[in-house]
Amino acid sequence: MRALELLLAAPQINTNPSTPQGEEVLVQKSETNGEKSDPILDLVSSVKESEDLTDEYIKLQLRIFRLSILITAIAVSISLIFLGVQFSLSLLLGALSGIFYLRLLARGIGKLGKTSKSVSKVQLLVPVVLFLVVSKLPELQFLPALLGFLLYKPSLIIQFLLEPSRN
């Protein structure tokens, strides 16, 4: 029972069960480990920790987006030199779609717990729209667009490998 009290977000409130109905109820704050804890200080430290995690998440997103854009620029440049304009244009469109997909996914994850209880499914429309656009325009090719869409994945892998372990 004592271990469960340590996991509570707020101290438990004990009421006097012998109080008859209609009379005043005495409420007292339970103490854990004999230490007095100021709820305002706990709230301030919790808010500060939450802000630190939010700032860290935003910085991680920016690093991933920058790396995705760099990988896209390199891939499109190489494909323009060796494979032609049509392939490069398809690759670029797919890569931009992949970055947009990643942005929508990151925004959904950022809202998780604050304003929503689950991740939105809106980002799943991005590959569908990409497929429709590529199939309607004859100057675009499907395979390079699909490869471009998946170009955000290497940036996630590289970021994971460069991130120091947090044990």
DSSP secondary structure letters along the chain: -HHHHHH-SS--EEE-TTPPTTS---EEEPPBTTB---HHHHHHHHHHHHHHHHHHHHHHHHHHHHHHHHHHHHHHHHHHHHT-HHHHHHHHHHHHHHHHHHHHHHHHHHHBTTTBSS--SGGGHHHHHHHHHHHH-TTS-HHHHHHHHTTHHHHHHHHHHHSPP--
Angstrom distance (rounded) from CA 46 to CA 35 = 19
Residue 17 lies in a domain: no
Residue 103 lies in a domain: yes
Residue 5 lies in a domain: no
Angstrom distance (rounded) from CA 101 to CA 158 = 18
> Domain residues for 142?
39-162
Give the chain's mean pLDDT: 75
Q: What is the pLDDT of residue 29?
A: 52
Q: How far is CA 53 from the centre of its chain?
A: 11
Q: What is the pLDDT of residue 4?
A: 42
Residue 32 lies in a domain: no
What's the first-to-final CA gap in the chain, in angstroms? 28
Give 87-128 pLDDT, tens digit per residue. Answer: 999 999 999 999 998 888 888 877 776 676 766 778 788 888
pLDDT of 12 strictly over 60: no
Residue 12 lies in a domain: no
Angstrom distance (rounded) from CA 15 to CA 56 = 42
What is the pLDDT confidence band of residue 77, given thresholds at 50, 70 and 90?
A: very high
Residue 4 lies in a domain: no
pTM above 0.75, yes or no: no
pLDDT of 49 strictly over 90: no
Residue 49 lies in a domain: yes
- Structurally, the chain folds into a number of domains equal to 1
Give 123-152 pLDDT, tens digit per residue. Answer: 788 888 889 998 898 888 889 989 999 998
Instruction: Output 142 or 166, whichever has higher pLDDT.
Output: 142
Instruction: Output 92 or 20, whichever has higher pLDDT.
Output: 92
Residue 34 lies in a domain: no
Instruction: Tell me which amino acid residue 134 is.
Output: V
Angstrom distance (rounded) from CA 71 to CA 79 = 12
Q: What is the pLDDT of residue 140?
A: 87
Q: Which residues contact 10 (CB under 8 A, 6 or more apart)?
A: 39
Q: What is the pLDDT of residue 20?
A: 54
pLDDT of 44 strictly over 60: no
- Can you tell me the mean pLDDT for 6-24? 49
Q: Which residues contact 52 (CB under 8 A, 6 or more apart)?
A: none
